[in-house]
Structures are given as C-alpha cells and as structure tokens.
Chain A
Amino acid sequence: MLGLIATRSIDTPVEGIKPLVAHAREQIENGLLAYKWLAAQGEAPAAGVPKALETPMSNLGHALLLKRIRPDIENATPSQIQEAAESTIPDVPVLFWSFRVMVALGFYFIALFTAAFYLSWRRRLNTPWFLRIAVISLPLPRIAAELGFIVAEYGRQPWVIDGVMPTFVGVSNVPATNVLLSLLGFLAFYTTLALVDLLLIVKYVRLGPEPDEETLHRLAASPVSAH
C-alpha cells in the first residue's frame, strides 16, 4: 500500500508487503500483551497502565484482528497470528488500477478545463468537437469519485479506523434485514427520482436554451423576422 502511494513501479508494492506483514505480526503480538493485561483487570481496574505496556496499548486494535479467527484471542497460536497479520494485506491489483485510473482522469480534467479556458478566452466555446467531448466527459467525474472511494475505503480494509478498530468489530448489531430494507428503500426511492429527473431533463432539453444576447441583437437588427 505504501509502495503504491509512492507509485514507484508495478513490482515494488509486492516486494514492500512482506516487511509490512512482519511488522503487523509484531504489532499483533504486542497488542495481545495489552489485551491480556486489560482482561486480567476485572472489576477493580488499576489506576494507570504499567510503563512496559504503554507501547503495546497502542497496538490493541491489532490484537482485535484475531477476533475474526477465534473469539478467545488470548489463546491464539503463532500460525493464527500469522494469518491475522496476512489479513492486513489489501487487494493490490484493484487498488493499483483504481488509483491510477483516478489520477489519469484527474489529469484529463485539467487538460479539458485548460482547453475550455482557452476556447472561452478566444470566444469559441461553442466549437463542435469540444462540445462533443464535453458531453462524453459527463460521467467521468462520477467514475473518478467512485474510484477514489474504492481506494480510500476498500484500500483501508480490514480497518474501519486504521490500526485502531477492525471493520468487523465496528459493525453495529442492527439486523441485516433492516439494513437490506433501508438499502432497497433508498434504491427504489432514488430510481423513482432518477426517472422523474429524466422526464424533466427531456422536457427542458426540448424547450431548448434561451437565446443569448448576441442572438437577440441579431434578431433585433434584422428588419424582417422569419415568423
């Protein structure tokens, strides 16, 4: 992931992942120490954290990664710790391409708007080829935004808060049927809105744009109008 952001080349991220897993493994082992100490506190907690546990305390979230493998994480075996460490590896190809396509689109937008700025300055904004490209480009910002979402949200997995709370720990206990119900509700609602929107867009496109001042002047200047 770090190698990806540094964007060195296609093969470096794969190399960089191994030390990252080793580091994660260390953090999980550290976090387990803190977890075991906390679990031992029970009803009468100590006033402060012992000095030796201050660093492990900040790795508590990593210990929670083990909860997906077994609930009694204090008994985790070395191979299970390795498995948890490997679960921190993101889906590299998906992120690799999402990030690059997003950045490429960003550069494309800069180019598009430079062209728009230039044409506007030359008062040739209604050049047909440019208008055609502009219309085709309409969905691209949405695609770039979605790719950005994938990079940020999917790329952060398995964390909901990086290094603090794994996603599966952060899930609420709202029943899945309720979540499904709200999802279907929004889906139906927004689909209806999209259709209504389409209806209105078609109506206003048919009405056409209001004539600009130049056209009005020309019409006023011509002695006989067409109608």
Chain B
Amino acid sequence: MLLDYGTLRIIWWALLGALLIGFAVLDGFDLGVAMLHPFVPKNDQQRRVLLNSVGPVWEGNQVWFILGGGAAFAAWPALYAASFSGFYLAMFLVLLGFILRPVSLTFHSKMESETWRRSRDWGLFFSGLVPSLLFGVAFGNLLLGAPFNFDPMLRLNYQGDLLGLLRPFALLCGLVSVAMLAMQDASYLAMKSDGEIAARACRYGVTAAIVLILAFAIAGVWVAYGVTGLSIETPIDPSGPSNPLTKSVAAETGGWLANYRAAPIAAAAPALGFAGAVVAALALWRRAPGAAFVSSSFSVAGVIATAGFSLFPFLMPSSTRPDHSLAIWDSSSSQSTLTIMLGAVIVFLPIVLAYTSWVFYVLRGAVTEEAIERKDDYYY
C-alpha cells in the first residue's frame, strides 16, 4: 500500500467535499435556472433562452450528484446508509425534483398550449427550489446532529422523520443554499444571455448575493452561540478499524468553531464564502457577469468548505448518541477499497474535467432569442 489508512481517509474526505463543490458549482446553476424560471423571463421566447442556457449541459452537471452519492457509497458506506435511510423522505423529494427537472425541460416546447407550458414552468420552479432547499437543510442537520444510533450488530437505527429535519437552524441553512445557488445561476445566466434577460438576471443575482451574505453570517453566529458541536475525547487512531462505537465524544455549545481556533488557516473557507459573494454582487452590479460567475463559484466552494471544516473530523454527528457519531477515522470503507478507488479517481477525474471544460468551451457565448427563432426545432 502506498498510502497509510489515515492519509487515505483524509484524501477521501477532501474528495467528497470536492465532489460536492463540483456539484454545487455546476449543477447549482441548473437548479438556479429552474428556480428563477417564473421570475426572470417575461415571455415564452425568453423562457426558452433560460431553458437553453442549461439545455446542453444540465445532464452532465447532474452526474456530479450521482458521483458524490457514489463516492459516499464506496468510501463512506456508513455515512451513505445513515443519510439515505435517515433523510429518506427528503431524499425522495430531491429525487422527485431531479426527475421533474429534465422532464420539464424537454417537454416544455413540445406543445404549443399556454397551460401546458405554464405547468412545465412551475414544475421547473419546484424542481429547482426543493432540492436546493433540502441540500441546505441536510447540511444544517449534520451540524445539529441527526437522531441515529447503532445496535451491537452495527445495524443502523434511525429515529427521525421528515418534519424533524425542518428545524429553524436547518431551514436557515436551506436559505443559505437557495440564495447561494440562485446567485450562482444569476451570474451564469447573465453570462449566457444578453439584453433584457441578462439585466434582470444581474438584479436577481445582486439580491441573492446579499441574502446569502446575511444568512451565512447569521448561521455563523448561531453556530457559535446556539449549536452544540462535538469533539472526540478518546485517543484517535487515524488508521484504526472502521467501528464508530469505540470512541467517546464531548459536546459543547459553539464546539464547531474549535477547528478554527486550532488551525486559523481554516477560516479562509468562510472568508472565501463572504468575499466571493461580495465580489459577485459588485460584479453583477457593474454588469461583469464573467467575473461574477468566477467569484460566485469561489463563494460556493467557500460556503461548502466551511461546513466541512466545522464538522471535521465528523461526517455525520448523532444527536441522540453522540458517541455513535460517524467520524472520518471510524466510518470509511477498507484501506484497499480506498486505494483502488483513488486510482480510479486519479485516472478518470482529469478526463471528466477535460471533456467538461471542452463542452463549456464549445458552447461558450450567449444564447439569444434570435438563434432560437432561427432554429426552432433544434432547441428545447
């Protein structure tokens, strides 16, 4: 084995974060297009500009979600089991949104009738809003801890339900997520359109960025004064067996900030989250969508990394049995699995990144109403 177990676990923790960020940066603007759909365009032609701004790329972007789920399944099986069973109905709603979105996209222009297209439009709105909100709610619940424990056979026992997820702090995290993805999309849309649509996208983008900054700041204060954070008390063996029942855990209000005291450099993540959003808002205000998209993407990365850094080394804390919380040292798959999968990532991730970049390069430039009118059948 080239790498020891503990290092592999850190690498896979970072990879899971990177995949989530990749998903939020790319699929974020798909979800955003869906969310902004009832608001930005004012007529059917403009609606089709919105649809076609993501038309050729949404499918590839959505695969990042599957990749994230796949990485969790292969590298963090206990996390996969606990989150997919624990957030069962929430996951069902996310899936519903994910299925409804492509359907709304591809069916939109297939019929002329006004009710048809309106129902598709609101389908899109639902399919963008619900997953965006629930992703944030899920992260909020990770910080709050989820009600689960293990029996002696290491079988998972989950006590929560869907309404139990919708706690005030979690809903605030949902707002962070919705605002963040709306900002991400507004920047993207401003880049991919012109005239009236781009101007309106910029205005919505500025609002979304301001909401993001406020909500993210309130969430930070809340984490410091109102959320219980955990830390591992017993000695940690980074290469120990994957059994989450062998440690004991201390709980303390504001405990999630301990990592920033221990390693102040980690504060770069929330700083990036704020700075990226501020620059994105300014760039949108000055109608510089390219700069806005780049800084918005950095903001997205910063916000997600903040959640990861705060929780580290925990992946999924338990609120009912904190000792049973999943930490990266005790809930990974085996060393050989992590090694083989890392090899696959090293080979394939650059390929995926290369062709994704190539697709975006080929499709650069704005989608215009004239282009859609010229080749009606070609577009969504």
Which of A3-11, A88-96, A149-157, A168-176 lines the interface with chain B?
A: A168-176
Q: Roughly how many angstroms separate A193 CA and B106 CA in the complex, as a whole number?
A: 12
Q: Is B111 in the interface zone, CB < 8 Å from A? A: yes
**Chain B 84-107, CB within 8 Å of chain A: the 1/0 string?**
010011001000100110010001
Q: Roughly how many angstroms separate A60 CA and B100 CA in the complex, as a whole number?
A: 44
Binding site for B on A (CB under 8 A): 169, 172-175, 178-179, 181-182, 185-186, 189, 193, 196, 199-200, 203
B99 proximity list for chain A (CB < 8 A): 189
A186 proximity list for chain B (CB < 8 A): 92, 96
The 7 closest A-B pairs by CB, nearest first: A172-B85, A182-B92, A174-B88, A174-B85, A178-B88, A173-B157, A178-B89
Q: Is B364 in the interface zone, CB < 8 Å from A? A: no
The B contact surface, by secondary structure, is helix
B window 101-144: CB within 8 A of A = 103, 107, 110-111
Number of B interface residues in the complex (CB < 8 A): 18
A–B pairs, 9, beta carbons within 8 Å: A182-B88, A185-B92, A186-B96, A189-B96, A189-B100, A196-B107, A200-B107, A200-B110, A200-B111
A204 to chain B, nearest CB (A): 8
A203 proximity list for chain B (CB < 8 A): 110-111
A172 proximity list for chain B (CB < 8 A): 81, 85, 156, 158
Residue of B85, B89, B110 most packed against chain A (CB within 10 A): B89
Binding site for A on B (CB under 8 A): 81, 85, 88-89, 92, 96, 99-100, 103, 107, 110-111, 153, 155-158, 161
Q: Roughly how many angstroms separate A84 CA and B111 CA in the complex, as a whole number?
A: 58
B92 proximity list for chain A (CB < 8 A): 181-182, 185-186
A185 proximity list for chain B (CB < 8 A): 92, 96
Q: Given A179-B88, A200-B107, A203-B111, list of 11 further CB < 8 A pairs? A: A169-B155, A172-B81, A173-B157, A178-B88, A178-B161, A185-B92, A185-B96, A189-B96, A189-B99, A196-B103, A196-B107
Q: Roughly how many angstroms separate A186 CA and B162 CA in the complex, as a whole number?
A: 17
Q: Roughly how many angstroms separate A182 CA and B100 CA in the complex, as a whole number?
A: 15
Q: Indicate whether A173 sits within 8 Å of B107 (C-beta atoms), given known contacts A178-B89, A185-B96, A189-B96.
A: no
B103 proximity list for chain A (CB < 8 A): 193, 196
Chain A residue at minimal CB-CB distance from B99 = A189
Q: Roughly how many angstroms separate A179 CA and B107 CA in the complex, as a whole number?
A: 29
B83 to chain A, nearest CB (A): 12
Chain A residue at minimal CB-CB distance from B86 = A174
Task: Verify B89–A173 contact, CB threshold 8 A.
Answer: no
Task: Verify B96–A173 contact, CB threshold 8 A.
Answer: no
Task: Verify B158–A173 contact, CB threshold 8 A.
Answer: yes
Task: Verify B111–A174 contact, CB threshold 8 A.
Answer: no
Task: Verify B89–A182 contact, CB threshold 8 A.
Answer: yes
Q: Which of A174, A182, A196 contacts B158 (CB 8 A)?
A: A174
Q: Roughly how many angstroms separate A169 CA and B151 CA in the complex, as a whole number?
A: 12
Q: Roughly how many angstroms separate A193 CA and B104 CA in the complex, as a whole number?
A: 10
Q: Roughly how many angstroms separate A183 CA and B241 CA in the complex, as a whole number?
A: 37
A66 to chain B, nearest CB (A): 14
Chain B residue at minimal CB-CB distance from A189 = B96
Q: Roughly how many angstroms separate A182 CA and B92 CA in the complex, as a whole number?
A: 6
